[in-house]
Amino acid sequence: MAQVAMRSLNKNYDEVHAVKDVNLDIHDKEFVVLVGPSGCGKTTTLRMVAGLETITSGRVLINDKVVNDLAPMDRDIAMVFQNYALYPHMSVYDNMAFGLKMRKFDKGEIEKRVREAAEILGIGEYLKRKPRQLSGGQRQRVALGRAIVRHPQVFLFDEPLSNLDAKLRVQMRVELKKLHERLGTTAIYVTHDQVEAMTLGDRVVVMRDGWVQQVGDPMTLYNEPANRFVAGFIGSPAMNFANVRVAGQNGSLWAEGDGIRLKVPAHLSNRVGAYAGKAVTIGIRPEDMHIARDSDPPELNIPAVVEVVERLGSEILLDVAVGPVTMVASVEPTARANVHEQLRLAVNPERLHFFDSETEAAI
Amino acid sequence: MLALAIIVCCLAAIVGYITAGDKSRSRVGWAVGSFLLPPVVLVLLLALRPLQLYGPEGAPWRRWLSFRIPLTLFIVGLLFPFYWMIVTSVRPDNELYRPWNAANYTPFWTLRPTLQHITDLLSETLFTTWMMNTMLIAIVSTVISLICGLFAGYALSRLKFPFAGGIGTGIFITYLVPQTLLFIPLADIIRNFHLGDSPWALILTYPTFLIPFVTWLMMGYFKSIPKELEECARIDGAPRWKAMAYIIFPIAVPGILSAGIFAFTLSWNEFIYALVFLSSPEQKTVPVGVTSELVRGDVFYWGELMAGALLGSIPVAFVYSFFVEHYVSGITGSVKG
């Protein structure tokens, strides 16, 4: 049972302003993911919640209690580190029991809790081994076990899966999700991998250069990105961008750019209309484009030259040249396209995004 | 292998050290020559290394030329002073002082080995007292230096406080000040505190160069231990001193042992402070005792000198070989994953 709140949280290193004015409310039992490119301040934010970094200004509250001056051990949190941070000289059992011993639990209770956690994580048979005798995935489980035996109020995860290979990462991701559903402990999870963020998070916080860019559930971030950065960061392959001008013609709005001329759909014309005559950035997700059929209206087509064809099985990725820019279109696996072929791509008008070219904010 | 090389290097240093007092040209030549040979061969081997010539690959002749022969030379060069010391310590006097141009002159072996020199050394001189003195001084000063250096190294590598970097460098620089300069002011201090001619003179002065040494070594070792281990312990509920005691220090044991071995060896072999601060024969340490009591004017008791060097180097060799496993992992790094 724990809510975590951050109020105007700031972190200054000597020259660098690493975390800028972060405000966040994390509800009880929520799984919140902080995501962003390296150096965006996500880990620093997490470490301030953990008490491992001093807070330059602002407050961190756990259960409505300011914890700024509490030592890490008194915040009733558990943290899982990227490099697992298992104590190499202790057995798996002692690693998991350490926190409980430090808190003076009696032997029977320690034994019970460690066995229980080992059972949940499927590491019961390794309890006597030393960490170096375990594989990467097993070490990760021990690190998780060490966190869950304490029954803390909040779990903090600092890129716990980045040291695992791709297959294991997907597997552990699913297990983490199950574990969270089973335990229901509030969790803050830091990652640079947007797929992890989208799959794990009840809500996702996108950060960049110390600023929070957007907070929302995964589908909101995907469908309604607040700005060009979030739009480009969330989704794989990334959203395509092109610089266009908004022009009014015959009573309708057009986005005109090098090699592009698209009619602005009616539901956006109010907002985009304010930019008439100005430069904006248009954003189109790869999955919102397909090879144009005769039935597709020509005012929503883009002429393109195929440069690379990537056949993934479930879909085909076309790297195409549209005027001066390269775009990626994800088309159905039955589509026929050859390199150097000229074709027309139809865009889904419901899913076009426009961004202010200067502020990069969504229009 | 590495540990063996270092044991032998150390022994070569002792032998070279003691024989360096000799005025006889040929023996000085031997000592210096054999002392220089290992580094020369080592440099040669290192020079060959980038050519990828050594190691178990390649044609047999190439392996011989680039690996086995240099290695043999290296080992012979390393072991020769040790051998010379042993042979001299069991050589009877009449062979020892036979002129180099005599018909039956055999400098490299002896046909009638004797334990006379060793029994003389143990019964006629204060050698056992010197051993006890050296042992006491080396152990106590090593323990003091380890305790101070451990905490200093931890603080300098882990805690954030003003001028931490500057203090670290400063400590290292004090280690670079030569003892040949420091003993003059130190002698004054020893006299003022009336510590002269007692083991305390050395127990308290050896840490002046051992603490910087241990601190610097431990700083490097602590830096190689991921700081997440400690952070995790602190989140787990351990205050900083408990995280140190239960997590960091146990992991640092190899580093602590190697620092201890080095400190022990340094204080065991120390010469100039022991020479200056101690005067009565029964207070002396092995290096000073052997060289001052067994060289009388221009009379060299070669057999006893070498027996003293041999027995004096045994504890150091013993300490090295006992902790060899830890010691190697101590210099090659610490925690993986």
A99 vs B234: CB contact, 8 Å cut-off?
Answer: no
State the best of A53, A79, A103, A130 to mutate against chain B, taking most chain B CBs within 10 Å.
A79
DSSP B246: I
Note whether B333 contacts A: Cβ–Cβ < 8 A. Answer: no
> Is the same domain home to A77 and A221?
yes
Average pLDDT of the residues of chain A: 91
For residue A2, the model assigns a pLDDT of 87
pTM of the model: 0.78
Helices (H) and strands (E) in chain B, counts: 18, 2
Residue A51 Cα to chain centre, angstroms: 23
Note whether B164 contacts A: Cβ–Cβ < 8 A. Answer: no
> Is the same domain home to A202 and A173?
yes
State the number of CA atoms in the 13 A half-sphere of A281 facing the CB.
18
The tens digit of pLDDT for each residue in B54-68 reads 455 667 777 777 777
> Is the same domain home to A8 and A156?
yes
> Is the same domain home to B189 and B266?
yes
Domain-located, residue B9: yes
Residue A265 Cα to chain centre, angstroms: 30
CATH number assigned to the domain comprising residue A146: 3.40.50.300
How many domains are contained in chain A? Answer: 2
State how far residue A59 is from chain B, nearest Cα, in angstroms: 19
> Is the same domain home to B222 and B247?
yes
Note whether B242 contacts A: Cβ–Cβ < 8 A. Answer: yes
- Measured between beta carbons, which residues in chain B are less than 8 angstroms from residue A85? 226, 228-229, 231-232
B235 vs A77: CB contact, 8 Å cut-off?
Answer: yes
Domain-located, residue B120: no
Q: How far apart are CA A234 and CA A230, in angstroms?
A: 6
Helices (H) and strands (E) in chain A, counts: 9, 20
Does A229 score more than 60 pLDDT? yes
> Is the same domain home to B103 and B131?
no
pLDDT band at B5 (very low <50, low <70, confident <90, very high): low
CATH number assigned to the domain comprising residue A259: 2.40.50.140
> Is the same domain home to B81 and B130?
no
Residue where a domain stops, chosen among A233, A266, A295: A233
Residue B202: partners with Cβ closer than 8 Å, 6 or more residues away: B137, B141, B267, B270, B273, B274, B277, B278, B285
- B83 to B77, B88, B107, B310: CA distances (angstroms): 10, 8, 12, 10
CB B48 within 8 A of CB B70: yes
A132 vs B239: CB contact, 8 Å cut-off?
Answer: no
For residue B6, the model assigns a pLDDT of 60
Helix (H) or strand (E) holding A159: none
What value does the mean pLDDT take over residues B124-142? 93
> Is the same domain home to A57 and A133?
yes
Domain-located, residue B119: no
For residue B23, the model assigns a pLDDT of 44
> Is the same domain home to B12 and B145?
no
> Is the same domain home to B150 and B256?
yes
> Is the same domain home to A159 and A222?
yes
Q: How far apart are CA A197 and CA A157, in angstroms?
A: 12
Q: How far apart are CA B301 and CA A192, in angstroms?
A: 74
A88 vs B246: CB contact, 8 Å cut-off?
Answer: no
Note whether A84 contacts B: Cβ–Cβ < 8 A. Answer: yes
Does B19 score more than 60 pLDDT? no
- Measured between beta carbons, which residues in chain A are less than 8 angstroms from residue B164? none
Q: What is the dihedral of CA B96, B102, B108, B113, to 10 degrees?
A: -40
Closest alpha carbon within chain B to A76: B235
Note whether B139 contacts A: Cβ–Cβ < 8 A. Answer: no
pLDDT band at B24 (very low <50, low <70, confident <90, very high): very low
Note whether A73 contacts B: Cβ–Cβ < 8 A. Answer: yes
For residue B337, the model assigns a pLDDT of 37
Of the partner residues A72, A89, A136, the one whose CB lies closest to the CB of residue B235: A72
Q: Any alpha helices (H) in B90-126, and if so which ranges?
A: 93-96, 116-124
> Is the same domain home to B47 and B164?
no
Of the partner residues A52, A82, A99, the one whose CB lies closest to the CB of residue B236: A99
State how far residue A73 is from chain B, nearest Cα, in angstroms: 4
> Is the same domain home to A82 and A156?
yes
Does B25 score more than 50 pLDDT? no
Q: Which two tokens stand for residue A81?
A: 């580190």
Q: Which two tokens stand for residue B89?
A: 């310590």
Q: Which two tokens stand for residue B142?
A: 């090593």
Q: How far apart are CA A213 and CA A219, in angstroms?
A: 15
Does B191 score more than 80 pLDDT? yes
A99 vs B237: CB contact, 8 Å cut-off?
Answer: yes
Q: How far apart are CA B317 and CA B267, in angstroms?
A: 14
State how far residue B148 is from chain A, nearest Cα, in angstroms: 24
> Is the same domain home to B33 and B174?
no
Q: Which two tokens stand for residue B45?
A: 């081997």
Concatenating the DSSP letter of every residue in B196-237 gives TTSHHHHHHHHHHHHHHHHHHHHHHHHHTS-HHHHHHHHHHT
A85 vs B247: CB contact, 8 Å cut-off?
Answer: no
Residue where a domain stops, chosen among A186, A214, A233: A233
> Is the same domain home to A44 and A176?
yes
> Is the same domain home to B321 and B172?
yes
A73 vs B235: CB contact, 8 Å cut-off?
Answer: yes
A85 vs B226: CB contact, 8 Å cut-off?
Answer: yes
- Measured between beta carbons, which residues in chain B are less than 8 angstroms from residue A52? 231, 234-235
> Is the same domain home to B132 and B11?
no
Residue where a domain stops, chosen among B53, B81, B114: B114
For residue B294, the model assigns a pLDDT of 86
Percent above pLDDT 70 for chain B: 79
The tens digit of pLDDT for each residue in B244-258 reads 999 999 989 888 988
Residue B76: partners with Cβ closer than 8 Å, 6 or more residues away: none
Q: How many CB atoms lie within 10 A of CB A355?
A: 23
> Is the same domain home to A54 and A200?
yes
What value does the mean pLDDT take over residues B208-214? 93
Please return the burial class of A332, using the count of CB atoms within 10 Å of its CB with bins 0-12, 13-18 and 19+. exposed
Q: Is A263 left (phi over 0), alpha (psi -120 to 50) or beta?
A: beta
Domain-located, residue B121: no
Greatest mean pLDDT among B39-48, B96-105, B234-243, B321-330: B234-243
Structural domain boundaries, residue A270: 240-356
For residue B22, the model assigns a pLDDT of 45
Q: What is the dihedral of CA B89, B90, B93, B94, to 10 degrees?
A: -140
Q: Considering only CA atoms, give the Rg of chain B.
A: 23
Does B299 score more than 70 pLDDT? yes
Does A63 score more than 80 pLDDT? yes
Instruction: Give backbone dihedrals phi and psi of A123, rounded to 5 degrees, phi first.
Output: -120, 20
Domain-located, residue A30: yes
State how far residue B1 is from chain A, nearest Cα, in angstroms: 25
What value does the mean pLDDT take over residues A156-183? 91
Does B28 score more than 90 pLDDT? no
> Is the same domain home to B149 and B191?
yes
Q: How far apart are CA A361 and CA A226, in angstroms?
A: 6
Q: How far apart are CA B191 and CA B41, in angstroms?
A: 45
How many domains are contained in chain B? Answer: 2
Closest alpha carbon within chain A to B237: A73
What value does the mean pLDDT take over residues B20-49? 57
B229 vs A87: CB contact, 8 Å cut-off?
Answer: yes
State how far residue A137 is from chain B, nearest Cα, in angstroms: 12
Residue where a domain stops, chosen among B114, B140, B164: B114
CATH number assigned to the domain comprising residue B269: 1.10.3720.10
Question: Which is it for strands A211-216 and A203-208: parallel, antiparallel or unpaired?
Answer: antiparallel
Q: Any alpha helices (H) in B270-335, and if so which ranges?
A: 272-277, 286-293, 302-322, 324-332
How many beta-carbon pairs under 8 angstroms link A with B? 68
Domain-located, residue B337: no
Domain-located, residue B260: yes
Q: How many CB atoms lie within 10 A of CB A279?
A: 13
Structural domain boundaries, residue B99: 2-114
A83 vs B233: CB contact, 8 Å cut-off?
Answer: no
Q: How far apart are CA B83 and CA B207, in angstroms?
A: 33
Q: Considering only CA atoms, give the Rg of chain A.
A: 25
Please report how the helices A136-148 and A166-183 are oriented relative to each other, as an axis angle in degrees rounded to 10: 20
pLDDT band at B97 (very low <50, low <70, confident <90, very high): confident
The long-range contacts involving B166-169, CB below 8 angstroms and separated by at least 24 positions, are B168/B216, B168/B219
User: Does residue A237 have a cis peptide bond before it, meaning omega lies within 30 degrees of 0?
Assistant: yes
Average pLDDT of the residues of chain B: 82
> Is the same domain home to A8 and A111?
yes
Residue where a domain stops, chosen among A212, A233, A254: A233
State the best of B229, B235, B249, B329 to mutate against chain A, taking most chain A CBs within 10 Å.
B235
Q: How far apart are CA B12 and CA B10, in angstroms?
A: 5
- Spatial strand order of the sheet with A17-26 comes to A17-26, A4-12, A57-62, A65-66
> Is the same domain home to A17 and A106?
yes
Residue where a domain stops, chosen among B83, B114, B145: B114
> Is the same domain home to A250 and A273?
yes
Closest alpha carbon within chain B to A50: B235
Q: How far apart are CA A221 and CA B267, in angstroms?
A: 67
| Coil vs helix vs strand at A306 | strand
Note whether B240 contacts A: Cβ–Cβ < 8 A. Answer: no
Note whether A157 contacts B: Cβ–Cβ < 8 A. Answer: no
B337 vs A102: CB contact, 8 Å cut-off?
Answer: no
- Spatial strand order of the sheet with A316-322 comes to A289-291, A342-347, A301-311, A316-322, A325-331
Domain-located, residue B245: yes
Q: How many CB atoms lie within 10 A of CB A155?
A: 25
> Is the same domain home to A20 and A102?
yes
- Measured between beta carbons, which residues in chain A are less than 8 angstroms from residue B336? 132
Q: Is B92 left (phi over 0), alpha (psi -120 to 50) or beta?
A: beta
Closest alpha carbon within chain B to A80: B232
ipTM reported for the complex, 2 dp: 0.83
For residue B101, the model assigns a pLDDT of 79
- Amino acid letter, B278: L
Q: How far apart are CA A75 and CA A70, in angstroms?
A: 7
Per-position b or e across A158-189, b if 16+ CB within 10 A of its CB: bbbbebbeeeebeebbebbeebbeeeebbbbb
Domain-located, residue A184: yes
> Is the same domain home to B296 and B322?
yes
